[in-house]
Structure 1
Amino acid sequence: MGKWIGILLLATLGTVVRAADYPSEQGILQVDEMIGGLEHPWSLTFLPDDQGLLITERPGRLRRLDASGRLSPPIDGVPAVYARGQGGLLDVALSPDFKQDRQVYLAYAEAGDGKAGTAVGRGRLSDDGARLEDFQRFFQQQPKLSTGIHFGARLVFDRDGYLFIALGENNQRPTAQDLDKLQGKLVRLHADGRVPADNPFVNRPGARPEIWSYGHRNPQGMALDPRSGTLWLHEHGPRGGDEINLPRPGRNYGWPLATHGINYSFTAIPEAKGKQVEGTEPPHYVWEKSPAISGMAFYNHSRFPAWRDNLFIGALKGELIRLQLDGERVVHEERLLGQLGKRIRDVRQGPDGYLYLLTDEPNGKLLRVGLKPREQR
């Protein structure tokens, strides 16, 4: 953990602001504000070897917070983004071989053809952390159909080094079922953007070979289960029907044919044939009333044993959701931090065993969450 032990003492530098304590089923939650002044932060990732962490801001800035609590100016070399509506600079992930290649992956909204779509590229983080060198885009969502919403855009590498990219359907519902389009899809690529030969739709006429699974609406959380290597993905429903899926190759996850939700206008989804439809996969877990889920992290650290094998999910309606797991089965749900009243955009487990949250607001914050020791309760 190195300097991440020392970061607990950053209050002496005036960086950490003690926020408050909050109740939970497993003890008192201690929430500290690590830094504020972030403009709609969207994602974070921890750098190895005490180099701090990277944070994306939706208007198009990538920032580094070092292990002593200093926030960098915007890192140079970030691509231009389509910063309208829900678009902008979105997810950030590190190469599985980051210690050797220092490659940083970015997902972002990209303009084109009068509309926009999700793009992904990578560049080398300079040794001083001040710029991305030789950034190259290697993936574009085609066609571009978004007018500012439903980009999806989460990135995850699996244990074999394949890159998964979660893509929203750009609010163009039927396209999630169209295999010749990349809307509402989960795609799987090699780290350099090449299509793996064993993807399920390779050599299928009329289908994009990048596709791993389809029928997704607007996935904004994705994480790899550290116990099994299984990929978990969650997505926004419309009015109701947020859901978790465990995407399998070639499977159809239903949107918009199968949904637990309705239109925001309280009318039925025109294409929907029910909550479960033959030929589509039912949700692994579903919220009939949408908490507006965003961000996802498994907890597998020894610091807080009560959280082991739990899944934490951010909610834009102002909560942190804790799901207790028995294998892959969700056996209990707890809502946390509702008193904060903050849109929680991302959640990650830090190398020190604390949870780190980003709040989505003009003055966004990085929060650290832990359980107070029993002697302090």
Structure 2
Amino acid sequence: MHARPRRTVVPRRKTLQVPNGSPNGVTPARRRTRAATVMLALAASALSMTAIGAPAHAEGGPTMLDPKLAVRTAATGLTSPTGLAFIGDNDMFVLEKTTGRIQRVVNGAVASTPLDLAVNSGSERGLLGIALHPNFPANPGVYLYWTESTTGADTTVLSETPLLGNRVDRFLWNGSTLTFDRNLIRIRARQEDAGQPARANHNGGVIDFGRDGKLYTFTGDLGRRGHLQNLTCGPTAVCPGPTVPDDQFGGPQTDNAHLSGVVLRLNDDGTTPTDNPFYGPGAAMGGEVGATLQKIFSYGHRNGFGMAVDPDTGNVWMQENGDDSFSEINRLEPGMNGGWIQIAGPVQRVAQFKEIETTFGGQNLQQLRWPPSNIADSTQQALGRLYMLPGAHYSDPEFSWKWEVAPGGMGFLNSRALGAQFKGDLFMGAATPALNGGYLFHFNLTGNGQKIAVDDPRLNDRVADNLAKHEITESESLLIGRDFGVVTDIETAPDGNLSVLSLTNGAVYTVYRR
């Protein structure tokens, strides 16, 4: 598709445009790693710029640490951008978290505003995720994950959203505007729990179509403490024992108001695929809880801002943020239980999980009803506490950091534009600019695409034993860029280069080969 001519900006309309009642043995690396990887010349705890030569960067902006790569600014002037999708050469949709706008950016400039939603953007809410139908533009479906406002205007007031205020909707693109077509699902948004202040975080919000044509949607734990957070009796200190409701709206069973910490797998019209891992058990259970379970692909997740589909294998990968400990990268599997809240990081490290969370920071896992002092004291105890749906299985992350490094958006490079050695590799940015102004990590995968490949022998256990929160000791060899700010999306552009979206900088950056 050729780039469309620049258009005049459409006047902003703030009316809600949707109906309120809408329903370690490791195989060899599959890609050639750079000989004597230049990053291994870096010191264990600090970067040596002289070891890699002069950086390539946009003036005053991000820096690439591989001398073969450079970065330039592709678009600026965006307001808190959270997602992008290319609809043609130099032609893309960019989401704005706080304004509710989808901006059409053509040749680096905002050309029009095809849609303006009334969003609640308090904390981590807002306009969060976008996915194009796999057959776009022949099928004009554009899918959005967003938090609706009850006022008809943008708001940050936490109470001004419905209980099920996070929603995934399909809109239709006609070449100039996006028109509401249908709601696929409504998900919990409000967090008003007795004994602690109202919150609005852990909404997740990333969506992507898999190679199977199904829509994968991630929502964070939303502060819930029920079955999907591996608490079989609800938010209680000891189980077995009396079952306690999650909140005034019910739970801990997984009804519509307690669907959280999950990856959903849906057909493109919002119906439930019959080959989902818990479809049979959900049918046997029946009712609202059973129908909700049928939609789940994996559960036991905390929160995250990045999900991507491997172009070689079709595997879905997702990053997860920790509280103070154990950032994770996971390869999602049907029926996977990620372990949260009983486990963060590899289950063999549960003692470290407990030690950090009981001695550092807020010491409350952001939810006062289940304190970290409840974390298990052994691997066996942690595994024994998991809430296991029929056919579920626990999986360790494919890679972890001992201390939280706050991962952000992620994506695979599906081209050879940066060099053959980068094709099919995974790139991941930061959810906070505290580290290197916003890092960009690069991961090679093993030959079968199932694991992270490493060159640094310190990472043979697939855990970076960093020394403090927002510090990257043992993962220096993975760092390929810095100063990108908060990265919310990474995509392969139509020209094959890597596009990196920065929320804090309001910009799209292009990483290219020099």
Would you call these one fold, judging by a TM-score over 0.5?
yes
Partner of 2:196: none
1:84 counterpart (122, 128, 131): 122
Bigger drift between 246-255 and 53-62 goes to: 246-255
1:96 counterpart (134, 152, 160): 134
Question: How far, CA to CA, are the matches of 1:194 and 1:331 in structure 2?
Answer: 37
Kindly report structure 1 stretches of 4+ aligned residues shifted beyond 6 Å. none
Instruction: Give the drift of 1:29.
Output: 3.2
Question: How far, CA to CA, are the matches of 1:291 and 1:28 in structure 2?
Answer: 26
Partner of 1:61: 101
Instruction: Give the drift of 1:186.
Output: 0.8
Q: Does 1:364 align with 2:506?
A: yes
Q: Does 1:343 align with 2:490?
A: no
* Conserved? CA contact 1:116–1:145, under 8 Å: no
Instruction: Give the drift of 1:369.
Output: 1.2
1:196 counterpart (248, 268, 273): 273
* Conserved? CA contact 2:214–2:266, under 8 Å: yes
Instruction: Give the drift of 1:185.
Output: 0.8
Question: How far, CA to CA, are the matches of 2:377 and 2:319 in structure 1?
Answer: 20
Identity of aligned residues (%): 28
Q: Does 1:306 align with 2:421?
A: yes
* Conserved? CA contact 2:311–2:424, under 8 Å: no
Partner of 1:242: 327
Instruction: Give the drift of 1:117.
Output: 4.3
Instruction: Give the drift of 1:238.
Output: 1.0
TM-score by length of 1: 0.85
Match of 2:362, as an amino acid?
S
- Report the number of matched residues: 352
Instruction: Give the drift of 1:322.
Output: 0.6
Q: Does 1:137 align with 2:183?
A: yes
Q: Does 1:121 align with 2:121?
A: no
Q: Could you say what the CA RMSD is over the residues aligned between the two structures, in angstroms?
A: 2.6
- Which has more strand, going by share of residues? 1
Q: Does 1:165 align with 2:217?
A: yes
Partner of 2:442: 322
Partner of 2:34: none
Instruction: Give the drift of 1:198.
Output: 2.2
Instruction: Give the drift of 1:179.
Output: 5.5
Shift in CA distance, 21/294, structure 1 to aligned 2, threshold 3 Å: closer
* Conserved? CA contact 2:363–2:372, under 8 Å: no
Relative contact order, higher structure (CA 8 A, sep 6+): 2
1:156 counterpart (203, 208, 217): 208
Question: How far, CA to CA, are the matches of 2:64 and 2:183 in structure 1?
Answer: 45
Shift in CA distance, 257/306, structure 1 to aligned 2, threshold 3 Å: same
* Conserved? CA contact 2:490–2:499, under 8 Å: yes
Match of 1:312, as an amino acid?
F
Match of 2:82, as an amino acid?
W
* Conserved? CA contact 2:301–2:320, under 8 Å: yes
3-state SS, counterpart of residue 138 of structure 2: helix
Q: Does 1:73 align with 2:217?
A: no
3-state SS, counterpart of residue 303 of structure 1: coil
Partner of 2:340: 255
Shift in CA distance, 271/246, structure 1 to aligned 2, threshold 3 Å: farther
3-state SS, counterpart of residue 306 of structure 1: helix
* Conserved? CA contact 1:233–1:247, under 8 Å: yes
Bigger drift between 57-66 and 350-359 goes to: 350-359
* Conserved? CA contact 2:166–2:189, under 8 Å: no
Match of 1:86, as an amino acid?
E
Structure 1 gaps of 5+ residues are 5-16, 373-377
Structure 2 gaps of 5+ residues are 5-57, 151-160, 193-198, 231-251, 346-352, 365-370, 387-393, 433-437, 455-476
Instruction: Give the drift of 1:160.
Output: 2.0
Shift in CA distance, 274/134, structure 1 to aligned 2, threshold 3 Å: same
Match of 2:425, as an amino acid?
N
3-state SS, counterpart of residue 415 of structure 2: coil
2:303 counterpart (206, 218, 237): 218
TM-score by length of 2: 0.63
Question: How far, CA to CA, are the matches of 2:102 and 2:64 in structure 1?
Answer: 34
3-state SS, counterpart of residue 80 of structure 1: coil
Instruction: Give the drift of 1:159.
Output: 1.6
Match of 1:229, as an amino acid?
G
3-state SS, counterpart of residue 71 of structure 1: strand
